Amino acid sequence: MAVDQRTSPVARHHHAAPPKRAGLVRGARDSLVVARRNLIRMMRIPEIVIFGLIQPIMFVVLFSYVFGGAIAVPGSGGGASAYREFLMAGIFAQTVTFATAGAGAGIAEDMHKGLIDRFRSLPMSRGAVLTGRTLADLVQTALTLVVLAVVAVIVGWRVHDGIPEALVGFALLLLLGYAFSWIGALIGLSVRSPEAATSGGLIWLFPLTFISNAFVPSSQMPAFLGHVADWNPFSATVQAARELYGNPEGLVSDAWPMQHPVWASILWSIVIIAIFRTLAVRKYRSASV
């Protein structure tokens, strides 16, 4: 007895797979189109990149020359040069995470102008608008890191464990920045103005970055704050970058993220992306101006 290919479960599965793959390809293509649109916009408004560079450069200069001689890094032999090398991984990480506020403000501005509604009316993947925006922000962050690394070399920062390890360190920093950009996307979709998105994006970033090992070793903090800093995802990436750069690490605690900072950094970033991308895409689907 012949099997009706139109009703066969195997046939239905065979015919269902290509549309799914086609949907993934279309989503990737749509995301790249949106990313290109945002990159072109950034190129037409260079002030966005320039002002994004000023703050981290100021932090490098201020912390290196104002606080460098006053903060001793345990186990490094002391000195301002040791603190500068200890500091730079924290400045790099702070730079990629503070870009989150700009990402949230950009999405809130698109919402305010009605651009998101126009995107939602087009036959395109639902997550492509947000994915494209976060990819464009990742490119801008990478360019900022390049300039900041040059400034760091000028003030005395050096890589001691080789270029490949240093590139892995920068990759972990960009992964963390990309993960946090999804938090910024969710904030941008949840507020009614770019100003509110900027404020909301900075409120949680300040305690996250300062209750960490970015600027002061966690061993020099009160016990409770030191424990919080050791399990801070920001601290894991900072510690991983220091380890890969061969920079002074200070006294590392027995906490698992500090003993395995590279793996901890990757796991934290993946978890943050999985949670906040899901929430942001869901919010985007139901958002209205």
The mean pLDDT value of the chain amounts to 80
On the 0-12 / 13-18 / 19+ scale of CB atoms within 10 A, 115 is: middle
Question: For the ranges 23-27, 143-147, 187-191, 261-265, which has the lowest average pLDDT?
Answer: 23-27
Q: In the chain, where do the E strands start and end?
A: none
Q: Does pLDDT of 1 surpass 50?
A: no
In the Cβ-directed half-sphere of 260, how many Cα atoms lie within 13 Å? 6
| Confidence band for 8, pLDDT divided at 50, 70 and 90 | very low
Contact at 8 Å (CB) between 86 and 247? yes
Sign of CA dihedral 10, 14, 15, 16: positive
Q: What is the pLDDT of residues 74-112, one digit of tens each?
A: 655 566 677 888 888 999 999 899 888 777 877 777 777
b/e 204-231 (16+ beta carbons within 10 angstroms → b): ebeebbebbbbbbbbbebeeeebebbbb
| Confidence band for 275, pLDDT divided at 50, 70 and 90 | very high
How far, in whole angstroms, is CA 178 from its chain's centroid?
3
Question: For the ranges 48-52, 96-100, 140-144, 282-286, which has the lowest average pLDDT?
Answer: 48-52
How many Å is the Cα radius of gyration of the chain? 22
The CA distance from 137 to 129, in Å, is: 12
Contact at 8 Å (CB) between 9 and 17? no
Rounded to 5°, the CA angle 91-94-100 comes to 150
* Confidence at residue 212, expressed as pLDDT on a 0 to 100 scale: 92
The CA distance from 36 to 33, in Å, is: 5
Contact at 8 Å (CB) between 102 and 202? no
Rounded to 5°, the CA angle 275-195-120 comes to 55
On the 0-12 / 13-18 / 19+ scale of CB atoms within 10 A, 25 is: exposed
